[in-house]
Amino acid sequence: MSEVGSTKRYRPETRLVHGGTLRSQFGETSEGLFLTQGYVYDSAEQCEARFKGEDPGFIYSRYSNPTISMFERRMIELEGAEAARSTATGMAAVTTAILAPLRAGDHVVASKALFGSCLYVVQDLLPRYGIETTLVDGLDLDQWQRAVRPNTKTFFLESPTNPTLDVLDIPGIAEIAHKGGARLVVDNVFATPIWQSPLSLGADVVVYSATKHIDGQGRCLGGIILSSEAFIAEHLHNFMRQTGPSLSPFNAWVLLKGLETLGVRVRAQTDNAAKLAEVLASHPKISRLIYPGRADHPQAALVKKQMRGGSTLVGFEVKGGKAAAFRVLNALRLAKISNNLGDAKSLVTHPATTTHQRLTPEARAELGISEGFIRFSAGLEHADDLIEDVAQALERA
């Protein structure tokens, strides 16, 4: 195998295409797909050396694999991280990044506005193992500050949040975490690596569901954790080798091909979302529109400071509650009803009855998830087709 050297001197678009490539003796153009569980050794001595960590190379695909390694290396170069470990799903990445460094008696502070499964991990799972969690309004820095205890080890947040697209102050929250001796873990799925780099904003660990924009074409699940070498060596390396939340090499290959077009897709989807938001902003059937990147976004100044672009997602509230929202969803022809996001196909979600149905009505109200709220994930269709589709559907609201 020959390594294509570091692409860090190049711009992100170039890193997405070339970063981390390992080329075999056949000189293939596209990244090789190594569907192998294990590896054979030239000698017993080489095998011994590899297990001792003295001979570089692969041992077993639960640990790593050339295709998986290429995916991790490309993400490392894109994100500006020192190291990474990929996982079978985004939730495996979130769970591992949070759970692996902690033990009973530790304390976690997290923003309330989380993806449903992330909320389960911090609110229901951690306490079963003696790890307490405090949930805060992520927008309120005082609440983060007041939640810190001597045993606080991890802060966790998503920004922009799902589904209400609030933008949290990553540098401000990182500072509070570090003063309190805690690390900040950021789920960067909604921002994508194209529009936001949490490590450069002060976060210690970044996690992705690669299922979303990184694949972006509805094919496979995957996840990744990016951080310093030290964090991975101390907390993740052994935990992941022995517990095995590993990514499939096949999915790693799909995700590598996804990365090649990530920049182009996220930009085009963001343009579509922005155009749709512009039309919805003044639509008579809509009582609320949220789009990061617009001057009327509640944290517009923060968006400018910490993000390089807006979002591929638009949130809006249809007047008339659930019945009206359902009529709109059912009348859409192009945009498909789905709980997924970041796809080439436009997808719409009704969070109150799907991703956030587990919450009490009061908890939903507190997060701004009303019965009329719709999350729209803009795809790669022509913007005018999307706008016409939403406009005809809103006539039924």
Which parts of this chain interact with ligand PLP (CB under 6 A)? 89-91, 94, 115, 117-118, 158, 162, 187, 189-190, 209, 211-212, 221, 223
- Across the strands, what pairs with 2? 23
Taking every pair of C-alpha atoms in the chain, what is the biggest distance, in angstroms? 75
Shortest-Cβ-distance residue relative to ligand PLP:
90
By beta-carbon proximity to ligand PLP, the closer residue of 46 and 217 is 217
Q: How far is the CB of 91 from ligand PLP (least distance, A)?
A: 4
Helix, strand and coil content of the chain, in percent to the nearest 5, comes to 45, 15, 40
| Least gap, CB of 123 to ligand PLP (angstroms) | 15
For ligand PLP, give the closer residue by CB, 115 or 195: 115
Cβ 116 to ligand PLP shortest distance, Å: 9
The whole-angstrom separation of Cα 73 and Cα 219 is 21
- Supply the minimum distance, in Å, between the C-beta of residue 46 and ligand PLP: 37
Smallest distance from the beta carbon of 161 to ligand PLP, in angstroms?
Answer: 9
Lay out the sheet containing 373-377: strands in order across: 286-290, 313-318, 373-377, 347-349, 336-337
Rounded to whole angstroms, how far apart are CA atoms 296 and 291? 8
Among residues 203, 37, 183, which one has the least CA distance to residue 98?
A: 183
Residue in the structure block whose two tokens are 């701004």? 368
Q: Which is nearer to ligand PLP, 180 or 195 (CB)?
A: 195
Distance CA 173, CA 237 (A): 27
Nearer to ligand PLP, 152 or 162 (CB): 162
Residue 88 beta carbon to ligand PLP: minimum distance, rounded to whole angstroms: 8
